[in-house]
């Protein structure tokens, strides 16, 4: 009775993983054709792949997870998809770990589930031939697990799991050969006040003029003196000008942001200028 239950469970769980039950979705995955048209793999795709394989590893038995924990891809490896790169190293270790940690039907099923989920991370960027080969291998292993028991042992299944891992490893390297490494991490652009001038307009007023370089939407400049805050709208070119009543002002602080219903939210840092 126990063998029958195991057989049914393995068939259902692993069948689902191949059909779509164990999918690690990767946003904006590139096809092979698209890959050949680009110079570098985008940094965002690289980070998505790392996140995807981490999720896939969570389906593996604890022994496999412990074995490869230190082999997970590095966050800034420009040659991650090349031979000796992060994915080459990780997938090779995952293949070995799956073989070494397949001593029961449950472990075999979990290792296959993790390997298939890892394959799904890269699937849409592999060639149709590589996809057919890997899916055929997975289906074969799935059938072997369904009919296995303690008497037959799991050595052959472990070898086949390792073979699936190394075949996936080669396919990912083939994908990486279409590129000249991984692109750089995008530099975060920060909005700032690029020009600011404060001069005495009269004995009682100071005139504040300036401009901002914006990477986020902003509509107002806030001018602060010892008399409090005043607000002025930005022009279409992000310039501003405001005369403020402040007879004894020695410094003026300006921040660019958005103002609505008495609430101001800054987009730039505050810039302080001495009154001339």
pLDDT values of the chain reduced to their tens digit, one per residue, 276 residues: 333 334 333 443 444 444 344 443 343 444 444 444 458 999 999 999 999 999 999 999 999 999 999 999 988 999 999 999 999 999 999 999 999 999 999 999 999 999 999 999 999 999 999 999 999 999 999 999 999 988 888 999 999 999 999 999 999 999 999 999 999 888 888 999 999 999 998 989 999 999 999 999 999 999 999 999 999 999 999 999 999 999 999 999 999 999 988 899 999 999 999 988
Structure tokens at 45: 């795709």
| All residues at 6 or more sequence positions from 203 whose CB lies less than 8 Å from its CB, including other chains | 247
Boundary-marking domain end, from 120, 149, 178: 178
147 and 216 belong to one structural domain: no
205 and 151 belong to one structural domain: no
93 and 167 belong to one structural domain: yes
52 and 173 belong to one structural domain: yes
Q: Quick check: is 53 in a domain?
A: yes
88 and 119 belong to one structural domain: yes
Q: Quick check: is 2 in a domain?
A: no
Q: Quick check: is 38 in a domain?
A: no
69 and 132 belong to one structural domain: yes
Boundary-marking domain end, from 130, 154, 178: 178
Q: Quick check: is 132 in a domain?
A: yes
Q: Quick check: is 69 in a domain?
A: yes
CA distances to 36, 199, 215, 247 from 226, in Å: 61, 16, 30, 10
151 and 235 belong to one structural domain: no
Q: Quick check: is 30 in a domain?
A: no
101 and 171 belong to one structural domain: yes
Range of the domain at 230: 192-274
132 and 250 belong to one structural domain: no
Whether the full predicted model's pTM is greater than 0.85, yes or no, is no
Q: How many domains are contained in the chain?
A: 2
- The gap from C-alpha 66 to its chain's centroid, in whole angstroms, comes to 23
Q: How would you write the chain as a 3-class SS string?
A: CHHHHHHHHHHHHHHHHHHCCCCCCCCCCCCHHHHHCCCCECHHHHHHHHHHHHHHHCCCCHHHHHHHHHHCCCCCCCCCCCCCCHHHHHHHHHHHHHHHCCCCHHHHHHHHHHHHHHHHHHHHHCCHHHHHHHHHHHHHHHHHHHHCCCCCCCHHHHHHHHHHHHHHHHHHHHHHCCCCCECCCCCCCCCEEEEEEEEECCCCEEEEEEEEECCCCCCEEEEEECCEEEEEECCCCCEEEEEEECCCCCEEEEEEEEEECCEEEECCCCEEEECC
The 10s digit of each residue's pLDDT in 158-197 is 999 999 999 999 999 999 999 999 998 888 889 999 999 9
Boundary-marking domain end, from 178, 208, 239: 178
What's the sign of the alpha-carbon dihedral 12, 137, 50, 90?
Answer: positive
Q: Quick check: is 151 in a domain?
A: yes
Of 212, 227, 5, 179, residue with least CA distance to 109: 5
241: domain CATH number is: 2.60.40.10
């Amino acid at each position: 009775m126990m063998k029958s239950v195991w057989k049914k469970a393995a068939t259902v769980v692993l069948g689902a993983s191949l059909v779509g039950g164990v999918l690690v979705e990767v946003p904006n995955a590139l096809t092979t054709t698209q890959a050949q048209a680009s110079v570098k793999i985008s940094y965002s795709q690289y980070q998505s792949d790392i996140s995807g394989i981490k999720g896939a590893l969570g389906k593996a038995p604890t022994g496999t997870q412990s074995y490869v924990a230190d082999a997970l891809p590095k966050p800034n490896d420009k040659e991650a998809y090349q031979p000796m790169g992060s994915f080459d190293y990780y997938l090779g270790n995952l293949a070995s770990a799956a073989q070494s940690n397949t001593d029961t039907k449950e472990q075999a099923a979990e290792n296959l589930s993790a390997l298939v989920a890892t394959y799904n991370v890269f699937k849409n960027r592999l060639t149709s031939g590589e996809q057919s080969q890997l899916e055929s291998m997975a289906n074969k292993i799935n059938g072997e697990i369904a009919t296995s028991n303690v008497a037959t042992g799991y050595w052959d299944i472990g070898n086949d799991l390792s073979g699936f891992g190394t075949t996936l490893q080669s396919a990912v390297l083939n994908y990486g050969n279409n590129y000249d490494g991984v692109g750089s991490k995008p530099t975060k652009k920060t909005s700032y006040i690029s020009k600011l001038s404060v001069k005495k307009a009269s004995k009682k007023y100071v005139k504040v003029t300036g401009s901002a370089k914006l990477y986020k939407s902003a509509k107002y400049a806030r001018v602060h003196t010892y008399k409090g805050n005043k607000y002025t709208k930005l022009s279409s070119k992000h310039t501003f000008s405001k005369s403020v009543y402040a007879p004894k002002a020695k410094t003026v602080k300006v921040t660019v942001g958005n103002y609505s219903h008495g609430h101001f939210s800054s987009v730039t840092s505050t810039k302080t200028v001495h009154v001339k």
